[in-house]
Amino acid sequence: MEDIANHGVAEHWFYKNTNSRAQRAHNRAQQWIRELVEMQKRSGNAMEFINHVKHDLFPDEVYVFSPKGGVFSLPAGATPIDFAYAVHTDIGNTCIACRINRRLAPLSQKLDSGDTIEIVTTASAKPNMSWLNFVATAKASSNIRHALKHQATDDAVNLGRRLLNQELGTNDLSLDTIDAQLLKHYVGQHKLTSVDALLAEVGAGKRLAYIVATALSQDATDEEGQTKAIGPME
């Protein structure tokens, strides 16, 4: 290795490319080799040398392991949540706890190179907004935001359903008893894509449940009146 440092790993290439850019690259390569030689001299054994290389040459990355031995490269400052999303989006979305080197640890704990991480999941779990305060990867951040957005939409739909059924109940109606075509017609009139979109707007406060219920109740009453006027077919 000392010979390489003294004579250069790219000597032949350097002489063929004498421009300043090539010279800078050559100088950087020589400096890199000298640093490796110096690290090797300082290290007591091979493992210590490898650890020095990881720390000095890759200061912005950590290399961690899955329980089955898979290797994952993550940015410095990454947490078990980042690791979970690196394994699979579903693992990240359903993460509830973790073990680092077989010991329970906070999901916000920063990982070190050589750590082995085990993620504990449950199907009913959902991402937490607080995770955005400590994740370090774009993949984790974007997936958390995406899941939170869908979660907020689902919550708005459920709330809208309750509010609208409450108002419809004053006329002995509900979303289950109103004719599906009436709902579809109302949704189309207001340029919405679906009944769930209507419920989401009610739940988010963009539409008043009372006004929607009044319109639907009137439509239902008008339809019932028309049916009675036509009478039974013989």
Average pLDDT of the residues of the chain:
82
pLDDT at 157 over 50: yes
**In the prediction, which pLDDT does 147 show?**
93
Mean local confidence (pLDDT), 125-130: 94
**In the prediction, which pLDDT does 218 show?**
86
**In the prediction, which pLDDT does 13 show?**
42
pLDDT at 193 over 80: yes
**In the prediction, which pLDDT does 21 show?**
63
CATH topology of domain 61-136: Ubiquitin-like (UB roll) (3.10.20)
Q: Which of 109, 55, 117 has the alpha carbon at shortest distance from 86? A: 117
**In the prediction, which pLDDT does 217 show?**
87
pTM for the structure as a whole: 0.62
pLDDT at 178 over 80: yes
**In the prediction, which pLDDT does 130 show?**
95
Domain ranges of the chain: 2-56, 61-136, 144-230
**How far is the C-alpha of 73 from the C-alpha of 169, rounded, in Å?**
57
How does residue 229 score in pLDDT terms, banded at 50, 70 and 90?
Answer: very low
**In the prediction, which pLDDT does 128 show?**
94
pLDDT at 102 over 50: yes
Phi and psi angles of residue 62, each rounded to the nearest 5 degrees, phi first? -125, 145
Residue 66 is classified by DSSP as -
Q: Tokens 């390489």 identify what position? A: 4
Q: What is the largest CA-CA distance in the chain?
A: 107
How does residue 228 score in pLDDT terms, banded at 50, 70 and 90?
Answer: very low
Which residues, listed in sequence order, are joined to residue 74 by a DSSP beta bridge? 62
Lowest mean pLDDT among 49-58, 83-92, 105-114, 170-179: 49-58
Percent of all residues in the chain with a pLDDT value above 90, rounded to a whole number: 60
Tally of CB atoms within 10 A around 124:
7
**In the prediction, which pLDDT does 61 show?**
87
At 52-79, the pLDDT tens digits run: 666 555 668 898 999 999 999 899 999 9
**How far is the C-alpha of 169 from the C-alpha of 173, rounded, in Å?**
5
Residue 232 is classified by DSSP as -
